[in-house]
Amino acid sequence: MKSSLLRLCSLAVFLGAAALGCKPKNTSDAISGDAASKVYVAPGKYDEFYNFVSGGFNGQMSVYGLPSGRLLKIVPIFSVFPENGYGYSEETKPMLNTSHGFVPWDDQHHLELSQTEGKIDGRWIFANANNTPRIARVDLTTFKTAEILELPNSAGNHSSPFITENTEYVVAGTRFAVPMDDQNGDVPINTLRKNFKSSISFISVNKDSGTMSLAFQLRLPPIDFDLSHSGKGPSHDWFFFSTYNTEQANTLLEVNASQRDKDFILAVNWKKLEAYVKSGKGRTESAKYAHNIYNEQTHSATSTIENKVLAIDAQDLKDICYYIPCPKSPHGCDVDPTGEYIVGSGKLAALIPVFSFTKIQKAIAAKDFIGTYEGIPVIKYESALYGEVQKPGLGPLHTEFDGRGNAITTMFVSSEIVKWNIKDLKVIDRKPTYYSPGHLSIPGGDTRSPNGKYVIVYNKITKDRYLPTGPELAQAAQLFDITGDKMKLLLDFPTVGEPHYAQAVEASLIKDKSVKFFKLEDNKHPYATLGEKNAKVVRNGKRVDIYITEIRSHFTPDNIEGIKMGDQVYWHMTNLEQDWDVPHGFAIKSAANTAELLVMPGETQTLYWTPEKPGIYPFYCTDFCSALHQEMQGYVRVSPENSNTPLSFSTGTNLPDSANTPQYLKENLN
């Protein structure tokens, strides 16, 4: 206990001193003279890259253009989004359904673009939710969340979503060890070592449709997975995971999970594992998890609860899993473009170990193990090690590659990025960042073919960088030119949410495939109204379906009477426009928790409404769609439950009662 406390104290002193001591002094010095022209994208011109940035605690993904740093879009994934009604409309609510019910907010850390032969193919981007473990697939033709798959037997889904080179699998490692879902979880917390397990989920991805399915889960000893990356080229069949808490502590991990000098990188031969599963080696366990799919034809999501998972134990398979000791609580686990070098970044280490895939294979063949950890062989550190980067900086977290034989690593504690050569492990350059960088991203920087033009760094702390905005400050991204030996800071801009991992890709791979509007003739929504003449209001007992259309600049119908108290009203809003960039909105007064919609051209979205008292309720369009946008409005009348107001609806025919015409209008004064 005493030694634990001592360690904690010395660690705190070390981290504190480093954070103070290394804060760069003169921040303006760091900017090179021609920086502005390098990031200037003239009005009307496109950026060269899309930058997809995780939102952290906002649960969304944001999309920026690079090099300008212009925010292009926020794509809602795991949290409701009032900007476009995601999670509010009847069609999108099922996307946020889980085995625990509707979850409106999650924590999104990592993004991974789909790949073909180790190169980004621009089709989909995968995202993880940590808190209620899920993996999502975003379609890059619509920039919409197309699918969300919940993961059973997992908690704090951090080590995900990392993919194999042909997007065969999306892989997700659990952060927390937990009792398995089909076991009694009512056990003392300090029986972790006996009653808890860790799992890695393998999610298969359909080559054509992208549809995901939980193929199998690998069960492992109860240690925490942090990050991962798949092998490439020669190491294609392998997956690598960083772990921490090999101490198997269940309390005060800050101290108790920093006891051992080394934790592990776990190497998994997923190809062999897949073969074992195909030969029937798994067992079926009961589990409960949601699988949500958005259908672009019906413009609607469905949520299905699955109830089985195939599980397979690492300890039973002697040639699948190997632990490699890695110093000081490794965080990032990054594989270079050749697939030969695996970089483990120990958060508390004063060096960066680089492992060699060839040496790992030799060590496995020669059984060069120092022992086993709960039945899994542990390779001797020196036998797996290619070499160590000495004195790289303090607090290495993440590494990306420039495709020219160099790696760039973020140093959280010493607030810098450090460029080093993979072959000779020599530091080439270091540049301060403002402050405490987490992830970094080079376009294609974790694939076989990076585009080494820029690195963009995501900082955790901004302090004095921008105008103060109260206690909550934006995080910052910083863009560096990395084409020369020396890295040059070009731009720094605030971001939304808290970025963790990000990906970037040449815009040319995505921009021309972008959907401009949904074709009305393809709209298979069961409540679509494909022309104004089809607009109607249909009563079925207490349920009222309003088939309503929007086109510049009116609703059909825009006068509705005969709605009664106790009715369950569904406003099915179809946007009839067939042109790019003409959404219409919908807002109705006092519509409880779903007050608004935003509907894209050709799309149908539904707002559920239960009137709260008899009266007149105005509704209007919320998106400035034309010069007469402000005129895009209407009324609905709600009568008592027992009234006999007939159901009626119209646009343009329910003219004002002439008995009440004001004199001014009668005289037609202008």
| Cα(651)–Cα(533) distance, integer angstroms | 11
Contact partner at residue 236 from ligand CUA, ligand RUQ, none, CB < 5 to 8 Å by partner kind = none
CB nearer to ligand CUA: pick between 29 and 579: 579
Residues whose CB falls within 8 Å of the CB of residue 477, separated by 6 or more in sequence, listed in order: 53, 64, 69, 456, 457, 458, 459, 492, 493, 494, 495, 499
SS3 call for 106: coil
- Per-residue DSSP letter, 192: H
Candidates 553, 568, 633, 650; binder of ligand CUA (CB under 6 A) is: 553
Candidates 501, 527, 571, 619; binder of ligand RUQ (CB under 6 A) is: 501
Residue appearing with tokens 């994208």 = 41
Candidates 629, 633, 637, 639; binder of ligand CUA (CB under 6 A) is: 629
- Residue 309: what residue type? V
User: Does 500 sit near ligand RUQ (CB under 6 A)?
Assistant: yes
User: Does 110 sit near ligand RUQ (CB under 6 A)?
Assistant: yes
| Cα(114)–Cα(233) distance, integer angstroms | 16
User: Does 438 sit near ligand RUQ (CB under 6 A)?
Assistant: yes
User: Does 572 sit near ligand RUQ (CB under 6 A)?
Assistant: no
Give which of 160, 92, 134, 182 is closest to 291, Cα–Cα: 134
Contact partner at residue 625 from ligand CUA, ligand RUQ, none, CB < 5 to 8 Å by partner kind = ligand CUA
Backbone angles phi, psi at 110, to 5 degrees: -130, 145
Give which of 89, 295, 90, 285 is closest to 211, Cα–Cα: 295
Candidates 376, 397, 407, 476; binder of ligand RUQ (CB under 6 A) is: 397
User: Does 532 sit near ligand CUA (CB under 6 A)?
Assistant: no
Candidates 584, 599, 606, 619; binder of ligand CUA (CB under 6 A) is: 584
Question: Which CA distances in Å does 197 have to 214, 241, 658?
Answer: 18, 16, 77
Q: Which stretch binds ligand CUA (CB under 6 A): 330-338, 451-459, 565-573, 619-627?
A: 619-627
Residues whose CB falls within 8 Å of the CB of residue 552, separated by 6 or more in sequence, listed in order: 577, 582, 625, 626, 628, 632
Give which of 333, 363, 352, 315 is closest to 265, Cα–Cα: 333
Site for ligand RUQ in 328-357 (CB under 6 A): 331
- Per-residue DSSP letter, 268: E
| Cα(252)–Cα(249) distance, integer angstroms | 8
Q: 159, exposed or middle or buried, with CB in 10 Å at 0-12, 13-18, 19+?
A: buried
Candidates 363, 625, 636, 638; binder of ligand CUA (CB under 6 A) is: 625
CB nearer to ligand CUA: pick between 142 and 553: 553
CB nearer to ligand RUQ: pick between 198 and 228: 228
SS3 call for 380: coil
The distance of closest approach from Cβ of residue 522 to ligand CUA in the complex, given in angstroms and rounded to an integer, is: 22
CB nearer to ligand CUA: pick between 274 and 550: 550
The distance of closest approach from Cβ of residue 549 to ligand CUA in the complex, given in angstroms and rounded to an integer, is: 11
Give which of 657, 645, 654 is closest to 555, Cα–Cα: 654
CB nearer to ligand CUA: pick between 110 and 584: 584
Contact partner at residue 536 from ligand CUA, ligand RUQ, none, CB < 5 to 8 Å by partner kind = none
CB nearer to ligand RUQ: pick between 441 and 574: 441
Candidates 439, 448, 465, 564; binder of ligand RUQ (CB under 6 A) is: 439
CB nearer to ligand RUQ: pick between 480 and 501: 501
Q: How many residues bind ligand CUA, per CB under 6 A?
A: 9
Residue numbers at the binding site for ligand RUQ (CB under 6 A):
109-110, 158, 227, 331, 397-398, 438-439, 500-501
Residue numbers at the binding site for ligand CUA (CB under 6 A):
550, 553, 584, 621, 623-625, 629, 632
